[in-house]
Amino acid sequence: MRRFSGGVHPHDEKICSDKKIESIALPSKVIIPLQQHIGAPAQPLVKVGDVVKKGQKIGEGSGFVSSNIHASISGKVVEIANHLYPNPAGRTALSVIIESDGNNQWYEGIKPPDNSDFLDSKGILNLIKESGIVGMGGATFPTHVKLSVPDGKKIDSVILNGVECEPYISSDHRLMVEEPEKVIDGLKLIMKVLKVENGFIGIEKNKPDAIEVMKKITANTVNIKVIPLKVKYPQGWENMLIKSILNRKVPPGSLPLDVGVLVSNVGTATAISNAIRLGKPMIERIVGLTGPGISQPKNLRVPIGTLFSDLIQQCGGFKGNPVKIIAGGPMMGFALFNSDVPVVKGTSNILVLTQEEAQTRQVCIRCGRCIRVCPVGLMPTTIAGLTEKGKIDAVEAYFPMDCKECGCCGYVCPAKIPLVQLIQFAKANIVAKQRAKAK
């Protein structure tokens, strides 16, 4: 099997990998941000006092790169206001707050489309757009936009990303084990939209049950191959996955479609299947609650907008001495200052760490480990050092915009310097400077 350069081998800590997906109790309220995706925020279609039903569209995607938003429960709209939601920048978004009526009643317009097997590419894309599907691997790019390949670009292969290489996270793993038919159906629908013959599913070898299930269900499908991969982080980054499976390198500043490949997440494929076969919009997702600070780690099926605090209570509350709540995993996730934030479309995991896992920053010892493991070949410690000194102009010479924020550098750093966070800060300042210059 081909390998990519750099990367690390963190401990798996997949303590939820054998725990079946459970449905949660109906939340008393949900907070549904109208900005859960890359691009322009959705515009509200409801007002305070309106009664809505599960699956009803409450936000209209504004512009081409945007996404629709739907109610995840039935009830009354009690507030439309800015609320903090899980994102690295700590931003707020205009959000629709719905109090449950206890009925969880579906909107009348939610029904399977007629003759879904005979939908053409345009029909499938329209349903994906209407259903508000975005990339569920964390990027949250609107799926209908990603599948609208520009003229002049030719896609010959689709890769379904079932790697889930970050420690602790196991929601995609459970989807492949428990709902493999939907995963494969979603992949076939993506291939149909793109008119592509070659499909691949990349799964790391630390998920043998998922590999077995997916191989069994694709045994008679000659144009879809399940590819077991050696365990290495960040193999889930699409550029690394393309290198491992197809031995194609995505040049800096380019996209996978520039080398003829489209990569999608297994959760996204499942959401596509639900939309096309059942008419179901993207109103829920699988979220893992894990870590030494959780009493009963679980994989949960969660309505979008459910508060982290509600999910933590449904898992028995905190355990030990919790000091950090992370949205995502320990490598690419981000810490929150409280648990009263909602699950959004990009929330795959909630990790709670105790004092024993918390680490204190020390002084850089110039060991160079961060440089050796960087899969892009950057100099993280140099970028971070210049950023801390406020030398943003000098930072640009070290290509911080190429950083994918995978966290390998921070993982191996013996001084525990917040390298990723400093690089994020540098990137934000560079973008702000470019925008100011453009104006």
Answer yes or no: do 410 and 269 share one domain.
Answer: no
H-state helical runs in 220-290: 238-246, 266-278
For the chain, 439 residues long, give each residue's pLDDT as a single digit of tens: 566 778 999 999 999 999 999 999 999 999 999 999 999 999 999 999 999 999 999 999 988 899 999 999 999 999 999 999 888 767 899 999 999 999 999 999 999 988 899 999 999 999 999 999 999 988 899 999 999 999 889 999 999 999 999 999 999 999 999 999 999 999 999 999 999 999 999 999 999 999 999 999 999 999 999 999 999 999 999 999 999 999 999 998 899 999 999 999 999 999 999 999 999 999 999 999 999 999 999 999 999 999 999 999 999 999 988 999 999 999 999 889 889 999 999 999 999 999 887 778 899 999 999 999 999 999 999 999 999 999 999 999 999 999 999 999 999 999 999 999 899 999 999 998 898 888 7
Do both 139 and 270 map to the same domain?
yes
Q: What's the CA gap between 343 and 153, in Å, rounded?
A: 35
State whether 132 and 263 are in the same domain.
yes
Whole-number pLDDT of residue 186: 98
d(CA 45, CA 428): 32
d(CA 142, CA 346): 11
372 closest CA partner among 409, 343, 405 = 409
Spatial contact of 246 and 157, defined as CB atoms under 8 Å apart: yes
Q: Any idea which residue has 């750093």 for tokens?
A: 413
At 2 the pLDDT is 60
Per the structure, how many domains does the chain have? Answer: 2
Where among 252, 278, 304 does a domain terminate?
Answer: 278
**CATH number of the domain where residue 227 is located:** 3.40.50.11540
Does residue 308 fall inside a structural domain? Answer: no
- Across the beta sheet with 92-100, what order do the strands follow? 29-33, 92-100, 75-84, 51-52
- Does residue 252 sit in the same domain as residue 384? no
Please indicate, yes or no, if residue 270 is contained in any of the structural domains: yes
Asked whether 342 and 280 are in contact (CB, 8 A), the reply is no
Rounded to whole angstroms, the Cα distance separating 63 from 76 reads 28
Domain-embedded: residue 254: yes
Cα(369)–Cα(410) distance, integer angstroms: 10
Is 48 inside a domain boundary?
A: no
Sheet containing 157-161: order of strands = 224-229, 198-204, 157-161, 261-265
Residue 415: domain span: 369-438
